[in-house]
């Protein structure tokens, strides 16, 4: 069964702390390694986590505030110096292509790196055989997007059921896996009798935004929903002013989207000494909630 490996390279907000670096999340599976946001110091977090940035295949930017993008120039320089041989696919919100192009013009890189810029709006933005990536626009006062990484359902052959038919390893197996009935030794073997569906997986990442329906719809039925949680309930007015989520609002998105687990990130320095405040507020609404920590990894 395919798994998605998640690593929280940075879990802080606009001002980093001793425990929390600027936002960056790594999602890897099969031959894909995706970086969602690249806050200041991200490439050093790769080193500390003993991860190889050369494996990155795609970078997704949620929005262009500094704590989410200031690590991009340094990371790109490191890749260029180490002869990065892939084409980096960079996805940015609508109207912001010029920002990433400016980075390549502003900094004098030693070496070269191949890249393609994809300016995106709502909908499916990557659609490969085994996975897809969907996005939706958020409400943050500047172009901003959330992302869902989805491993597609797979049709699998049930080896135990196949065994009784004594089928050899031939192209007939491929036909069964495609849902086609076959004939073997004069008998019809129905695909439905020997296949089953391996359900896919879904991770949704919602960064800086005010509460909105797009986030709920994008996150629908997520195995893991990762959201920013910049404010406690008592600071709702400030959250609305700066277009951020409170912990209870993050939990409401998880509950209404029927997500299985909620992970809070983008934690403000205000809660450095008592992060249990926002965790507790969220858990009152959505019990299966955890607080992300820098360099923490998990698999789904």
**Exposure of 237 by Cβ count < 10 A (0-12 exposed, 13-18 middle, 19+ buried)?**
exposed
d(CA 295, CA 299): 13
* 43, 64, 72, 165 from 78: Cα distances, Å: 8, 21, 10, 55
CB atoms within 10 A of CB 267: 26
Q: What angle do CA 143, 221, 278 make, to 5 degrees?
A: 65
Residue with tokens 């299985």: 260
Contact (CB, 8 A) for 42 and 11:
no
Closest listed residue to residue 289, CA positions, set 257, 254, 256, 239: 254
Beta strands in the chain (DSSP E): 5-10, 24-29, 32-36, 58-60, 87-93, 114-120, 123-127, 131-137, 145-151, 154-157, 182-184, 187-189, 195-198, 201-206, 224-228, 262-265, 289-291, 297-299
| Bridging pattern class, strands 297-299 and 5-10 | antiparallel
Q: Which of 13, 37, 67, 294 is catalytic?
A: 67
d(CA 43, CA 277): 30
DSSP code at position 231 = B
Q: Has 67 been annotated as catalytic?
A: yes
Beta strands in 139-272 (DSSP E): 145-151, 154-157, 182-184, 187-189, 195-198, 201-206, 224-228, 262-265
Positions marked catalytic: 67
């Amino acid at each position: 069964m395919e798994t998605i490996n998640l690593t929280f390279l940075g879990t802080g907000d606009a001002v980093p702390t001793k425990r929390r670096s600027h936002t960056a999340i790594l999602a890897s599976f099969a031959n894909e390694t995706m970086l969602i946001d690249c806050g200041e110091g991200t490439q050093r977090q790769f080193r500390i986590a003993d991860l190889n940035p050369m494996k990155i295949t795609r970078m997704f930017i949620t929005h262009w505030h500094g704590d989410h993008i200031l690590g991009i120039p340094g990371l790109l320089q490191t890749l260029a110096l180490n002869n990065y041989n892939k084409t980096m696919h960079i996805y940015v919100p609508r109207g912001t292509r010029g920002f990433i192009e400016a980075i390549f013009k502003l900094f004098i890189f030693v070496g070269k790196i191949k890249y393609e810029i994809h300016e995106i709006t709502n909908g499916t933005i990557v659609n490969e055989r085994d996975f897809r990536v969907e996005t939706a626009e958020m409400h943050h006062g500047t172009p901003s997007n959330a992302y869902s990484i989805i491993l597609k359902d797979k049709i699998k052959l049930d080896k135990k059921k196949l065994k009784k038919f004594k089928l050899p390893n031939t192209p007939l197996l491929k036909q069964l896996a495609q849902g086609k009935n076959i004939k073997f030794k004069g008998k019809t073997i129905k695909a439905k009798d020997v296949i089953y569906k391996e359900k896919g997986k879904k991770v949704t990442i919602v960064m800086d935004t005010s509460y909105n329906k797009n986030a709920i719809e994008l996150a629908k039925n997520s195995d893991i929903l990762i959201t920013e949680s910049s404010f406690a309930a008592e600071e709702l007015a400030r959250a609305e002013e700066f277009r951020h989520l409170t912990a209870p609002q993050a939990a409401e998105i998880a509950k209404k989207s029927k997500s299985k687990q909620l992970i809070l990130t983008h934690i403000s320095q205000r809660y450095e000494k008592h992060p249990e405040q926002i965790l507790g507020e969220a858990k009152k609404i959505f019990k299966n909630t955890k607080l992300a920590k820098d360099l923490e990894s998990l698999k789904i």
